[in-house]
Structure formats: structure tokens, C-alpha cells
Structure 1
Amino acid sequence: MTDGTARLGVDIGGTFTDVALERDGVIHSTKVLTTYAAPENAIVEGMRQVCDRAGIAPSGIAQIVHGTTLATNALIERRGAKTALITTQGFRDVIEMRTESRFEQYDLNLVLPEPLLERQMRHTVRERVDATGAVLIPLDRAEVETVADRLAEAGVESVAVGLLHSYLNDAHERMIRDVLAERLPEAMVSLSAEVSPQMREYERFNTVVANAYIKPLIRSYLGRLRGRLTAEGAECPVFLMHSGGGIISLDSAAEFPVRLVESGPAGGAVFAADIAARHGLDRVLSFDMGGTTAKICLIKNRTPRTSRVFEVARTYRFKKGSGMPISIPVIDMVEIGAGGGSLAHVDAMRQIRVGPESAGSEPGPACYGRGGDRPAVTDADLILGKLDPDGFAGGAITLDPRASTEALGQALGKPLGMDEETAAFGLAEVVDENMANAARVHAVENGEDLAGYTMIAFGGAAPLHAARLCQKLGIERLLVPPGAGVGSAIGFLRAPFSFEANRSVYMRLSEFEPARVTALLSELRAEAVDFVRSCETTEEILTEFKTYMRYVGQGWEIPVALTPEQAAEPDAAMFRQLFEDDYAHLFGRPVAGLDVEITVWAVNATTRPAPVDPVTPAPRGKPAPEQGRRRLFDPAAGAFAEARVVSRDALTPGATVAGPAVITEDETTIVVPPGRHALCQADGCIDITPEGTP
């Protein structure tokens, strides 16, 4: 049967590829191991499985929305193309000098992360544009041709162009692109004025370098994917999830692949926000733990927190400044190397360390039986009773407890003089504390107290660890939604088409030019709307306006939202009032006597989000039927206990499960610790709270 009404969401993770097919409000999902050499193979296999379950052919799919960690992983693992940077003379070392800030002030042995490009791959040209966009030193075309010839001799595949103040005047960057098109027709070119037209050269240069570095890889992959899907009969439009939480076209994703960094996690945040809206929750901690990483995001008023800059691969205790800054619109979250496949070892201080290295899917944790011999988080979960060796991934993968025991004993037990179960407990506690600490740091950085927050957990590994994180963080309520094992893939199907256009144009309120502001916002609105229209959507497009403002002399800005009416009739007094209201909300009071300046202007074009149906809380009913019992380790007590085993499929609204218990399903397992109980809500969410909670 092929009716063309189904939509497919696909999330490629470091270990599993999650696939979710939604048809007539019913979701069919599966998890397949990610195929690193050709990621599209896993997508095709997953698509076949869910289509079989839904009773349709691939030709019946009307739309595919795809997110991936391929871009992120390529940056973290330094697996990009041979790339060069062309920049202004005197600024060759900006991406290596960084901002010269020390993210750990008292560490005398502090090592800064290496830049993405070595010095010999960074080239300069003599030119200069000032901070107003005026040309001080014209660019000599002959000099650009000389640089282009050197790049051709070096066999460069991709070129990043980042010149000083090009976000105000991009004429020199465009000239360089024209010369490169003549001299290096096969090379791909990325201009900073297009990739990230914002002030602060370090962040802008780093972003355009990252875009150029992964562009050949992502463009090649997207081309292969389109071909494989067509060969399978799925000739429907394919869209990509971007890091800001919206959907863009395949062509836009191929041109600006840096916007795909964090696309998978962004889908998870959209999924959590949708659940929050259905349950009327305004303060949510989204916890997404897969096979390779864990992602934590704050959601307030049912909207994920966003940012203009984020960091990939923080290297020092999750601290700001220790990663690779990417200056694009993004859902603000912290991501750490803590997933089911994260590997453990004993360091020189005889302490257990977990991650960021991951076993991935090839070979995977030791218990997979695919050649892995080092213990991963999944091995510890298996030994501690959280996983059923015969029911993992719906029975598609049979786990080997003996392999886990041997790996834990060799890597952790022998060096530390402990048995395998204690080693598993130590591994699990370390990874749980790593994630809890990341959540604490993220909350503090955003001025939030997690008391009173609700955690929404999803991803294949999150429900196994979420209850323990709640204990560590003092969070009382935990929701595990239906489809939690493939949450990001479902989130893709909830995301709107959207694109944010932004630009740095410096303006003080004392020198405010209403006509110039009106023209600027109109240009940005047209740019953003055109990107959304390129997705061939016929839906209504809404626009959201935002400026980034600060007092003169300050080093950073705060976002200030504008209504369409305020953007249509800009006024300096109105801008100041909006800024001072937001500033006082953040810092307690405004500062008298200082001028205010605007540094960045942004317009987000988005289709209208689908309405959500509120969930009526289910009354507490009878205990759910048990499938049996098994040993489950209770980390709070430091001992094993007999736990109930309940199938999630057997839970009906109002059914309860008292801890200790495990609630099993094909794509994940939910752990209910002693002292907590679970209630199945009307929408299928498992609501876990302390005993005695009404």
C-alpha cells in the first residue's frame, strides 16, 4: 500500500541509527547499528524495517527529515577535507591565539585545544576593511591568484575565506571566490560573510574553517544518500535538521554543513519541548543519552534555550572556552562523551575514567561480541541487571555477559583490586556523576536552579541512567515518553521549517537611524524567508525579530526580542526600554547614564508549529502485571535487590509500577529505583516520582 502520507525521521548517531515512521498518528520505529563507511546503508535498512511494520513501500513516504552527528564527529575526530584558510595579512594566527583567555586560571599545565588547521594551511592577502565597512587597502587580484596557485599545488580540496570586517563589506571575499573558481574549479569555497556574518573574528574565522573542513564530506554523503533513497523508491523530498531546531533543504545543508553540527541533539530538544508542551511543563531538563554522547538542555516556557555561539568538543571539565567555538544559531546545550559505548580505563591516579572515547558500533562494547575487549557503559549496565541480554534492541542483538565480566575484570578489576560487579558499579557511578556534573555546570552558566525542574529522558541509554541522575540533582519528577529510544528521530517530525538570518551592524542608540534599521531588518527577513521557501513549503511563514544589545564598554550582549510591530516602526526609546527591562531581569537593575549599542540583528523565519493536545493526568490505578523478577543493582544502597520486570506494552493509562523495577521495551529499558514509583500517563509517558507523591 502506498498512500504518500507517511513521514520518516532519521537520526544517525555514533552507535545507532534511529528511524521513526509516522503514519496517521501512529509511529513505527527501529534502531540499527550505524554503518560508518557508508552511513546511508543503515538508513536504508532502517527504512525497510519500519516500512514493513507500517505496511507501506518506501514510495509511500511523503517526506524524510534527517539529522546526523556526522558533521560533529568529523570535527571532533579531525576527519575533514584538506582545507586552507585565506585571511587578512596579520591575522593568520587568530584561530590559534583564540581569545587568549584561560578557561582554568590556576592550571599551570593548561593546554589549549589545537586549531582545526595547521599554520602552513593558513594564507594571507594584503587588504583591509575598517569597522564601518570602508575599504582602507584594496585587494590586489594578482596577489589572490598567486595564493590560489599555491593552494592548487598543495592539492587543497576546500578553502575557507575569512577577512577582517567582511560581514560589513564582503567585496574582497567575493573577489577571492571568483579567482578560486578560475584557478581551483574543483575546490569548494566557504565565505565567512555568508557562513557567519557576525562580529568577533575568532569565532567567525573558526566557523568558516569548520564549514569548509566538513563541506566535501557532507556534500558527498548527501549526494550518496539521495541516490540510495531514490533507488529504493523513496523519491520524496529530503530535508535536514539544523542546529537551531528547524528544517532546511538538502541544497542549503550541503552549502552550509556547519549548520548541521548538533542537528541530532537539536531534534531531541524539539522532542522534549513537544512533550513539555503536552504536559504543561515550563521548567524542563532534557536528558538525551545515546551510544556515544549525552546531551543536556534547559527548556523554559516549553521552548529550548538558544544561543548564537556554542562549543564543539569541550576538552576541560565542560568549561566554556575549552572547546571549538561555532558561531551559528543553535539550541544551547552541553554535550559530553558519555554514552552506552563510552569506554572506561584506570588513569595514573588509579581513578576510573569514562569517555570521551567510544566503542561506537564497530566493534561496539565487549558484550556485543563484535571484537570489542574494553569495558563500556553498556557492559556495566548489563552486569548491574539493567539490561536483558536476550532482549537488547528488541532481540536483534544478543549480549554476552561473560565478555562484559572479562572486560571489566581486566581493565578495572585487576588494576584496582576489586571484583567485576564492584568495577561495574564504579564505572556506572563515574559516568552518572559526569553527566550530573555537566547538568549542574550548564544550569549555573545559565543562572538556573534545577530544583523544581522536571527531567525528560530519551535516547537508548538515558532511561537506564535518568533516575540516578534525578537522585544526584535533586529532581523529583522524571518523564520517559513513548518512543524514548528514538526521541531525536521523532523530534525531527515535530520541527518546523525555519532559518535564522543574522548580521553584525554596529549602532548606538544615541545615533539611531530608523530608516537604516527598517531596511536592514527587511533584508534579513527576505533572506530568512527565501531559505524557508527553498524547502518548497506552502505553509504560512512567521517571522521573529531579535537584536543583541549591551551597554557601551561591555564585552558581551544580551538578546532582546522584538514584536513584528516594533520591528516595523523602530524607535530608539523603545529599544532602550526593551533592553533595560531584559537587563534588569537578568542582573537586577539597569545601569544609569550609559549609552546602549546594538551589535547583531537577527530574523528567524519559521512555519507555524503544529498545535499540541494537552494531556490530562491519569488517575492512579492498579499495579501493572509483572513478567518476572531479576537482580538489579541499587547504587544508592550499594547492593543488589530483587526487581520487578514489567513490559511497557502491558502498561495502560493509570497503571503503576513500584520500584525497584525495570520497564522493558524494544529500544530501551526504564529503571525505577527503590523509593520511587512509575505511573503510565494517558499519552503513554512513564511518570516517575518519589513514593508518597500524589
Structure 2
Amino acid sequence: MAKAKTKTRLAADIGGTFTDVVLETPVGMFTAKVPTDIEQPERGIMAGVAIVLEQSGLASGDIDIFVHGTTLATNALIERKGAKTALITTEGFRDSLDIAYEARYDQFDLQLEKPLSLIPRGLRFTVTERMDVRGKVLLPLDRARVTELAAELNRQGVEAVAVGLLHSYANPAHEKTVRDLLIDAGCTAEITLSSDVCPEVREYERFMTTVCNSYVQPIMARYLRALEKTLSDNGFVCPLFLMTSGGGMTTLEAAIRYPIRLVESGPSGGAVLASRIAASLEENRVLSFDMGGTTAKICLIEDYLPQTARNFEIARAARFQKGSGMPVRIPVVEMIEIGAGGGSIANVDSMRRLAIGPESAGSVPGAACYGKGGVKPTVTDANVVLGRIDPETFAEGRMHLNVGAAKTAINGDVGEPLAVSMSEAAFGITEMVEENMANAARIHSVEHGADLSRYTMIAFGGGGPLHAVRMAEKLGVGRVVVPANCSVGSAVGFLRAPISYEVVRSRYMTLDLFDLDGANAVLDEITAEAQGIVLGGEPDSILVETRTAYMRYVGQGHEIQVPVPSGKLTEQSLAQIKADYEAGYTHLFGRTIPERDIEILSWSIVVSTRQEPAEKRQVNVLATEAAPIGKRPVFIPADHDYREVPIFWRPDLPAGASFQGPALVAEPQTTTFVSAAFTGRIDSKSNLVLEKV
């Protein structure tokens, strides 16, 4: 029944440079890539939607489901363009956001300046109250003080209020009372409670998550309501879902209430796509490489599942320095993201060093070759000059590129300062951005103890196929898979994601003094909350539940995740939880600690709609020689010159078609560059498979 409702599905992914739209119908898939409208992102979405509806011959009323991912919340946090926000916290904890971890993220930088807090000290208010760690009231809430604050918040024009009181995860009564008193006193700001957003121990992360959610909530609410109205005005009657950072979809109302969960929505869609492709190809070790116009995202996928985490840092001041950003506790697909995309700007510094990004030309003015006023050289300009991008067929021929402008920008800003030829300057730009991305992949793999030489790369995004082979050479990866519709890979991933929601709740207990009734009560409570959100999107769905406990030995500082058996917990369940904890601890550290009690800090449940498994059956196809549609001069680094290389039109290549690099494989919205060290073929699932000779 649920399957019949979602036969015709539409997805839109707003990136920093392009907006990708994908329409999946019973008769095929239709895609569009249009420049992102920075001022009104919904206009870019509707421009792409108009293209795919025209291609398919469908009307807006024929769409069964619309899935959307956006960088709006992330950009608001990075650029500090959110709402005017205040914090109300327990007396004595006004400066928790500044104190943070009581450490410097770079111990050796004597000139280090921490990024300013999202909320200035003058907008952080305290109230007298206190809960203990068990949720017992030690000091009653000063209700009169809260009522006074309502008038002060209105006077200062505060748009959003984050309420974070000590130990509210154990007992949210005081936070709820603060909210009710503010509303009753006429406070006009949107109010976010930490006990709703992040009911977990560790007040700094809890406060920061609440503050970030509050900071973006008004602008996200306005945007999502405007998008909802735009869709309705254009004849859409289907439900609108939002992609979350954890790789699932959530309802519009949940997204408006908890926009912090949308911060990595686009990249998580790419990870979902890569994991589905990995399962279909039975590749249990995969490096997902997603390069768009503004950023590149790299994610490890093992046993067909992307790495996930509960902690994420937004807007790091230092690219790879942990602790230099704003930590939030949300379900997130774990990946590394750097400012390296087609729009990344190249420059030569005072020491004559070539640097790429993280500044991006974006969609406006864009690369110099776009002809929209951009004059700085970008990675896209370099690819045009090197012959890897056809200026006549870029963006399905809707955008003709100015090769002369690209040459002028590269020669003026890179070639002349470095005293090298224009082609060498362009090659230097691509080589540098590829090294930046490869270095990010190395760091990510080392952090997870992964040997990338044993991995297969899955490359997508508008820029991924152009740079995947060189990335693979740098990383020692011998196999690259470029999926069908790769240029809009994240949006395709949206259509493969389940409706999913995770709830985490702190409820402390030890295994020696385990509270069965308390544990079952908290599991029932968070299960009902998660099910309510998921069933609100798909009432007839079959649900899948995953339960987890965050556990550690008494006295330790960090937890590991341990599976919790389904159903009502019993004494036998407790024995299983202990055995699973010891097995997990041994896997990580090679030993257990005998006679040490084990404690549980938090409980988690993920409820999602059941997904059909990926089709794994591969069909053996007859190998044939691919027929090129022409040739184009492409700069070959080994020759220090241009060489005519064959061009293959991917939509015309049948399963089994194969070729030897160097070559270009063009398709409507991107191009794959294949070096002489790789061969290529089309497999039975329409993937372009590149293998090192």
C-alpha cells in the first residue's frame, strides 16, 4: 500500500552553486541542474521542477512525495546570519558557551582567537533554579524572574530563545515552566527547550545544540513555510519531507521544530546513495566521494552502511582542528567536508604558493567562464581550459561557457604570477584541489583505521567524475564506480532514504543496580515519540526499530554504543546487554576491565520505514568495444601538451561497452575524465566502472 503511494517521487537538493532536481517515475528518471537562487532558494527549486515535469509530461498533481534537502541552516550558522537569539540558563552557568571545554583547539598558536559565540553575553540571562543529576528539585524556579525576562526579551527584539537549564534531561519540568511563563507574559520569540532538542548529559554540547537550533529556527520556519506555499500555489498536493543529517527523512513539522537536524541534509543523501550502490555491487568497503560546486564530501561506508556519529562540529575555524567549531549532538552521517568544489577560487599568495578555496564563486557571480561577472579563476575554469569540459554542452546545453574568460582569469591570476604557461597553470589548479581532497580522505581514513587501498571509490556530484581518477591514483584506490545520474547523486539518494527519526534520552543507571521498570519506561516513551513522527509521514508503513544504549565502565569519560534487545527488557535482556558491551569493548580496546561496574548514560531508538533491499544480482554481459562520438584536445600532464582523446556519450553506451583511457565520458550534466592508467566499462546496472590497469 505504501509502495503504491510513492511511485512518482520528486527530490530537490539545494547546494551552494547548483540546485539539483530529480523526478523518479514508473517509466524512468528525469533530472535537472540549475543555478542556486541565493535570495529565494525556492525559485531555483521551481525552475528545476518545471524542467523535469516538462521532460516527463507529468503535472504537479501527479507527484506522490516531495523530498527536500538544503544547506540553508548550515549556511546561516557558518555565516552568522541567523535570528537574534537569547539564552536562559541556570544561575552560575551564563558563560558556559564561552568556557566550552576549558581548552584551546590549537595549543601552539599564541595568537589564537576563539570564534565569537552565536549569543553575545548581554543576551544570556540566568534564573534561580536547580535540579540534581537524578531530576530532584534542589532549588525551586524563580517564576517572577522569568516573567520579568519576557518583557526584556521583547524590548531587545529577540526573535528566538534557547532555554538550557542544568540537568533538564533528567527532569524537564523547570524548562517547560519557563516556556509557559514566557508565553503567558507575552514573549513573541520562538522558544526552544534543551530537554526537547537534546535531552542528554554534558551541558556544553546540550546548550550549544539548543542555541544552534534556536538560532536558525525562525529563518528555517519562514523558508519551509514559503516553500510549502509555493508548492501548493503550483498545484502540488503531495506531502513534503525533509532530508536529515542522519540519512533519513522527516516530516515538515518536525523539520520546522528541529531544524538543527537538517545541517548536513544534502551530503547525507549522497552517503545513502553510495551505500545502496555498495550493497547492489556487494562492495563492503567503499569510499564515497561527492564533489559539487562549493564543497567536497568524503565518507567511509563499511558493510553497506555509512559511518554515523552523535557529535558534529559546525563551522570549524580551523579546517581539520577538532574543537574549533560549534559542537552539536544530533544523529549525523560521519564524513569530512572541505571547501573544494567546481567554484573554488584559485589564487597565488605573497610567497608564490598556489592555493585553492575554501572561498567559492558560488552561483553568483560564478566561475569566470559563466559570463556572469566572475573574474577570478576557479576549478571549473581550469577544467574548461584543460579540455575536460565541453563549453557548448555544459548543463545540458542551457549554459554556454566563455572559454576566453576562463583563459584570461587563469593566466592573469595564476599563470603570470607563477611564470608558467596557461595550460600548466590550469593543471596546477586541478592538481592542487585534488591533493586537498586526497589529504582530507587520508585524514578521515586514518581517524577510522581504514586502508583505502582496499576500498572502492564511488564518485558523484557535478565535479566528482572529473576528479575521481586522479583522486584514486593519489590514494592508491584501484577501482572507481561512477553511478548513473551521478551529477545529481545526493538528490537521487533522497529518494532511497527511509522516513526515519531518532530520539535519545538520558536515564542513568548501573548494571549492578539496574532499574528494569525505569529502563522500560524510558524506552517506551522515546519509542512512542519516534513512532509518532515517522507514522505522521507514512501512516501505513511497516516500521523498523533499532535500540541502543550508551555505556561505559564507571569512572570513564566516554561511552560506546551497545545494541539493546527488542521487546520488554527482562533479567535475560540485562545479561545480553552486558555480554554485548563486553564484546564491543574488547573489539575496540582488546580487553575488558574485570570487577568494574558498568553504567548506562543514555538510551536511543531509531524508528524508520522498512526499505526494500538493494538488488544485488549482477548480469554477465558481453564485452564490446565502445564507439566514440568524436574527439577533443585534452591536456595530458605526462606529455605537457594537449592530445586528441576519444569522447564517449554515456547515454548511448550499452552494458558491456568498454574502452581504454585516456578518454572522456560525457553525459547530460557532467563528464568523467579517465586517465591512461584506467580502463572503463558499463556494467549491467548502468554504472561506469573504472579499473586501474
Q: Bin the TM-score by the shorter chain.
A: over 0.9
- TM-superposed CA distance for 1:25, in Å, is 5.3
Query: What is the DSSP-based 3-state SS (H/G/I as helix, E as strand, rest coil) of the residue aligned with 2:391?
Result: coil
Of all paired residues, the percent bearing the same amino acid is 49
| Distance in 1 between residues matched to 2:203 and 2:260, nearest whole Å | 17
Please list the CA deviations of residues 271-319 of structure 1 after superposition, one character each: whole Å capped at 9, or x if unmatched: 1111111111111111111111111111111111111111122232423
Change (3 A) 1:635 1:204: farther
Structure 2 gaps of 5+ residues are none
Maintained 8 Å contact 2:535/2:541: no
Change (3 A) 1:568 1:617: farther
Equivalent position to 1:196, from 173, 195, 198: 198
- TM-superposed CA distance for 1:356, in Å, is 1.9
Maintained 8 Å contact 1:618/1:653: no
- TM-superposed CA distance for 1:180, in Å, is 2.1
Maintained 8 Å contact 1:642/1:660: no
AA in 2 matched with 1:13:
G
Maintained 8 Å contact 1:546/1:559: yes
Maintained 8 Å contact 1:477/1:689: yes
Q: Say which is worse superposed, 201-210 or 640-649, in terms of deviation.
A: 640-649
* Aligned counterparts, 1:609-688, within 5 A: 609-616=611-618, 618-619=620-621, 621-635=623-637, 640-688=642-690
Equivalent residue, structure 2, for 1:314: 316
Equivalent position to 1:58, from 44, 47, 60: 60
AA in 2 matched with 1:135:
V
Equivalent residue, structure 2, for 1:342: 344
Maintained 8 Å contact 2:66/2:239: yes
Equivalent residue, structure 2, for 1:547: 549
- TM-superposed CA distance for 1:622, in Å, is 2.0
Equivalent residue, structure 2, for 1:284: 286
- TM-superposed CA distance for 1:568, in Å, is 6.2
| Distance in 2 between residues matched to 1:349 and 1:199, nearest whole Å | 48
Equivalent residue, structure 1, for 2:406: 404
| Distance in 1 between residues matched to 2:141 and 2:528, nearest whole Å | 30
Query: What is the DSSP-based 3-state SS (H/G/I as helix, E as strand, rest coil) of the residue aligned with 2:64?
Result: strand
Maintained 8 Å contact 1:545/1:567: no
Maintained 8 Å contact 1:618/1:680: no
Aligned residues: 689
Matched, 1:377 2:379: yes
Query: What is the DSSP-based 3-state SS (H/G/I as helix, E as strand, rest coil) of the residue aligned with 1:136?
Result: strand
Maintained 8 Å contact 2:316/2:325: yes
Q: Say which is worse superposed, 178-187 or 44-53, in terms of deviation.
A: 178-187
Please list the CA deviations of residues 193-228 of structure 1 after superposition, one character each: whole Å capped at 9, or x if unmatched: 101111111111111111111111111111111111
Equivalent position to 2:154, from 130, 152, 160: 152
RMSD: 1.8
Equivalent residue, structure 2, for 1:364: 366
Please list the CA deviations of residues 515-566 of structure 1 after superposition, one character each: whole Å capped at 9, or x if unmatched: 2111111111111111111114311111110111112222211111223158
Maintained 8 Å contact 1:625/1:650: no
| Distance in 2 between residues matched to 1:250 and 1:312, nearest whole Å | 23
Equivalent residue, structure 1, for 2:165: 163
* Aligned counterparts, 1:527-546, within 5 A: 527-546=529-548
Equivalent position to 1:483, from 473, 480, 485: 485
- TM-superposed CA distance for 1:179, in Å, is 2.1
Equivalent position to 1:67, from 69, 79, 85: 69
Equivalent residue, structure 1, for 2:432: 430
Maintained 8 Å contact 1:239/1:248: yes
* Aligned counterparts, 1:559-578, within 5 A: 559-565=561-567, 567=569, 571-578=573-580
Maintained 8 Å contact 2:423/2:635: no
Maintained 8 Å contact 1:363/1:371: yes
| Distance in 2 between residues matched to 1:463 and 1:596, nearest whole Å | 48
Change (3 A) 1:635 1:109: farther
Change (3 A) 1:521 1:690: same
Matched, 1:592 2:564: no
Equivalent position to 1:252, from 251, 254, 258: 254
Query: What is the DSSP-based 3-state SS (H/G/I as helix, E as strand, rest coil) of the residue aligned with 2:218?
Result: helix
Equivalent residue, structure 1, for 2:220: 218
Change (3 A) 1:654 1:295: same
| Distance in 1 between residues matched to 2:494 and 2:614, nearest whole Å | 15
Query: What is the DSSP-based 3-state SS (H/G/I as helix, E as strand, rest coil) of the residue aligned with 1:451?
Result: helix
Query: What is the DSSP-based 3-state SS (H/G/I as helix, E as strand, rest coil) of the residue aligned with 2:357?
Result: strand
Maintained 8 Å contact 2:563/2:577: no
| Distance in 1 between residues matched to 2:91 and 2:376, nearest whole Å | 48
| Distance in 1 between residues matched to 2:619 and 2:411, nearest whole Å | 46
| Distance in 2 between residues matched to 1:170 and 1:113, nearest whole Å | 30
- TM-superposed CA distance for 1:632, in Å, is 2.3
Change (3 A) 1:607 1:5: closer
- TM-superposed CA distance for 1:617, in Å, is 5.4
Equivalent residue, structure 2, for 1:261: 263
Structure 1 gaps of 5+ residues are none
- TM-superposed CA distance for 1:5, in Å, is 4.1
AA in 2 matched with 1:301:
D
Q: Say which is worse superposed, 585-594 or 38-47, in terms of deviation.
A: 585-594
| Distance in 2 between residues matched to 1:637 and 1:455, nearest whole Å | 27
| Distance in 2 between residues matched to 1:96 and 1:409, nearest whole Å | 46
Maintained 8 Å contact 1:641/1:660: no
AA in 1 matched with 2:496:
R
Equivalent residue, structure 2, for 1:445: 447
Equivalent residue, structure 2, for 1:80: 82
Query: What is the DSSP-based 3-state SS (H/G/I as helix, E as strand, rest coil) of the residue aligned with 1:22?
Result: strand
Matched, 1:48 2:39: no
Maintained 8 Å contact 1:518/1:570: no
Query: What is the DSSP-based 3-state SS (H/G/I as helix, E as strand, rest coil) of the residue aligned with 1:266?
Result: helix
Maintained 8 Å contact 1:48/1:58: no
Query: What is the DSSP-based 3-state SS (H/G/I as helix, E as strand, rest coil) of the residue aligned with 2:458?
Result: strand
| Distance in 1 between residues matched to 2:667 and 2:608, nearest whole Å | 35
Query: What is the DSSP-based 3-state SS (H/G/I as helix, E as strand, rest coil) of the residue aligned with 1:284?
Result: strand
Maintained 8 Å contact 2:319/2:338: no
Please list the CA deviations of residues 52-86 of structure 1 after superposition, one character each: whole Å capped at 9, or x if unmatched: 11111111111101111111111111111111111
Maintained 8 Å contact 1:318/1:336: no
AA in 1 matched with 2:67:
V
Equivalent position to 1:136, from 131, 135, 138: 138
| Distance in 1 between residues matched to 2:209 and 2:128, nearest whole Å | 22
Query: What is the DSSP-based 3-state SS (H/G/I as helix, E as strand, rest coil) of the residue aligned with 2:537?
Result: coil
| Distance in 1 between residues matched to 2:276 and 2:514, nearest whole Å | 39
- TM-superposed CA distance for 1:618, in Å, is 4.2
Change (3 A) 1:689 1:258: same
Maintained 8 Å contact 1:517/1:570: no
- TM-superposed CA distance for 1:585, in Å, is 1.1
Change (3 A) 1:568 1:438: farther
Q: Say which is worse superposed, 568-577 or 206-215, in terms of deviation.
A: 568-577
| Distance in 2 between residues matched to 1:151 and 1:334, nearest whole Å | 38
Q: Say which is worse superposed, 115-124 or 541-550, in terms of deviation.
A: 115-124
User: TM (normalized to structure 2)?
Assistant: 0.96
| Distance in 2 between residues matched to 1:537 and 1:663, nearest whole Å | 44
| Distance in 2 between residues matched to 1:542 and 1:495, nearest whole Å | 13
Query: What is the DSSP-based 3-state SS (H/G/I as helix, E as strand, rest coil) of the residue aligned with 1:179?
Result: helix
| Distance in 1 between residues matched to 2:468 and 2:112, nearest whole Å | 33
AA in 2 matched with 1:222:
L
Maintained 8 Å contact 1:247/1:497: yes
AA in 2 matched with 1:611:
P
Maintained 8 Å contact 1:482/1:684: yes
AA in 2 matched with 1:598:
I
Query: What is the DSSP-based 3-state SS (H/G/I as helix, E as strand, rest coil) of the residue aligned with 1:56?
Result: coil
Change (3 A) 1:4 1:12: same
| Distance in 2 between residues matched to 1:395 and 1:255, nearest whole Å | 41
- TM-superposed CA distance for 1:636, in Å, is 6.5
- TM-superposed CA distance for 1:146, in Å, is 1.9
| Distance in 1 between residues matched to 2:646 and 2:468, nearest whole Å | 18
| Distance in 2 between residues matched to 1:566 and 1:322, nearest whole Å | 42
Query: What is the DSSP-based 3-state SS (H/G/I as helix, E as strand, rest coil) of the residue aligned with 1:41?
Result: helix
* Aligned counterparts, 1:498-537, within 5 A: 498-537=500-539
